[in-house]
Amino acid sequence: GNSVTQMEGPVTLSEEAFLTINCTYTATGYPSLFWYVQYPGEGLQLLLKATKADDKGSNKGFEATYRKETTSFHLEKGSVQVSDSAVYFCALSDNRGSTLGRLYFGRGTQLTVWP
């Protein structure tokens, strides 16, 4: 079946530190992969996505590359800011079959960045 595993949090970093949040997936087909972010008191927002192998999604300094060989989609940022403090969710969607609509999420990783 389809599932997502992401690294347990919380992650605490100092400002300007390098961030990696690991995400691996299991999928029956050829999924699309997403990172969503949830700021306090708000809904989940799409941060970036990649729809096929070797695609790199990027937004706001964050990047993630769709690696089919390692079934991974790790989130990275070279220099985090206090404003990046949020919960980050890795997710996938199946691009065929009967589950076209649903997203499969990981548990979320709480990131706290200190000044």
Partner 1 sequence: EPEVTQTPSHQVTQMGQEVILRCVPISNHLYFYWYRQILGQKVEFLVSFYNNEISEKSEIFDDQFSVERPDGSNFTLKIRSTKLEDSAMYFCASSVGLAPNEQFFGPGTRLTVL
CB of 70 to partner 1, least distance (A): 21
The span of 12-20, 44-52, 60-68, 73-81 binding partner 1 (CB under 8 A) equals 44-52
CB of 105 to partner 1, least distance (A): 4
**Which residues pair with residue 80 across a beta bridge?**
none
Pattern 3-22, partner 1, x by CB under 8 A: -x------------------
Q: Which of 21, 23, 27, 44 binds partner 1 (CB under 8 A)?
A: 44
Contacts of partner 1 in 58-87 (CB under 8 A): none
**Secondary structure, 3-state, the chain:** CCEEEECCCCEEEECCCCEEECEEEECCCCCEEEEEEECCCCCEEEEEEECCCCCEEEECCEEEECECCCCECCEEECCCCHHHCEEEEEEEECCCCCCCCCEEECCCEEEEEEC
Our finding on whether 93 is near partner 1 (CB under 8 A) is: yes
Q: Which of 18, 28, 102, 114 binds partner 1 (CB under 8 A)?
A: 102
- Burial grade of 92 (CB within 10 A; 0-12, 13-18, 19 or more): buried
Residues that bind partner 1 (CB under 8 A): 4, 32, 34, 36, 41-46, 49, 51, 89, 91, 93-95, 98-108
